Each structure stands twice: as structure tokens, then as C-alpha cells.
Amino acid sequence: MFDDAAARRYLAGLAPAAPGSVRWLIYDQARQWVSVIDTELAALRRDCAHVLSTLPEEDPDASLAAAIREFLAAGADRAPHVIALSCAVLMQGTGDREAVFTRVQSGVMATLVESEAVVVRPVAA
């Protein structure tokens, strides 16, 4: 189970994300693996738009969750793909691109890959 308090303590010890970047935490419950990635906001916007343009019409949420799991299985160097897919998960929930990016910029986001679901949300304050 993901521990927000432990994540906040860990994140507090890191240098802040660079200007124009956002910080994303990826947690894979099956592997007990955590990664923290800083990504440029402009690149994330482009990557998220690309992912959204390629989603299947039938069950896009399941498709996104499956793709996130596949990229995680491929290795840590695929983390930028996981972040773009996670952004698309948020877009599927709201449909409002600007609201999603306002949320992404408001704090550290987390992609939590658990046995039952893939959840994308902010790290709790």
C-alpha cells in the first residue's frame, strides 16, 4: 500500500523541480518500486496530447492502465511514457486539459500501480 506520509518525507529531501517542470512519483506495488521523475511541462503537454489522439474508442481507461503496466514492466527508462499515459488518465476523468495541467502543476502527482487498479492523483498533503 502506498504511504503518502513516507512519500512526502522522501520528497522533502529532494531539490525542487526545475522551473517549467513538474514532479511525478511512480509507485509499482507488485515490484515495491518507486521512482521520482521531473519532466518538462511543455513536453508533457505534447506527449499527453499524442496519447489522447491514439486512444481506442472502446474502453480507453483499460487501455491506458494496460499500457502503463507494460511500460513499467519494460523498465525504469520508460517512466516518461508512464507519465504521459498518466496524464491521459487524468484527461479521461475530466476532459478539461487546462484543469488537468493546473492540477499537475499544483504539487507532486503520483501514479499508483496496484494489483486492482492504476490510480493517478496528487501525493496527499
Q: How many residues are present in the chain?
A: 125
Residue 50's pLDDT is 92
pLDDT at 69 over 90: yes
**With contact defined as beta carbons under 8 Å apart, do 103 and 90 qualify?**
yes
One-letter identity of residue 92: Q
Cα 14 from Cα 2, distance rounded (Å): 19
Query: What pairing do the DSSP bridges indicate for beta strands 109-113 and 21-28?
Result: parallel
Q: How confident is the model at residue 57 (pLDDT cuts 50, 70, 90)?
A: confident
pLDDT at 43 over 90: yes
Closest C-alpha to 107, from 6, 16, 1, 15: 16
Q: How confident is the model at residue 29 (pLDDT cuts 50, 70, 90)?
A: confident
Cα 87 from Cα 49, distance rounded (Å): 9
* Averaged pLDDT for residues 23-32: 88
The three cell numbers of residue 30 are 507488485
* Averaged pLDDT for residues 9-26: 93
Cα 78 from Cα 11, distance rounded (Å): 21
Q: How confident is the model at residue 60 (pLDDT cuts 50, 70, 90)?
A: confident
Closest C-alpha to 113, from 77, 91, 85: 85
* Averaged pLDDT for residues 82-107: 90
Cα 125 from Cα 122, distance rounded (Å): 8
pLDDT at 82 over 90: yes
The three cell numbers of residue 63 are 487501455
The three cell numbers of residue 97 are 486539459
Residue 67's pLDDT is 94
pLDDT at 31 over 80: no
| The model's pTM | 0.89
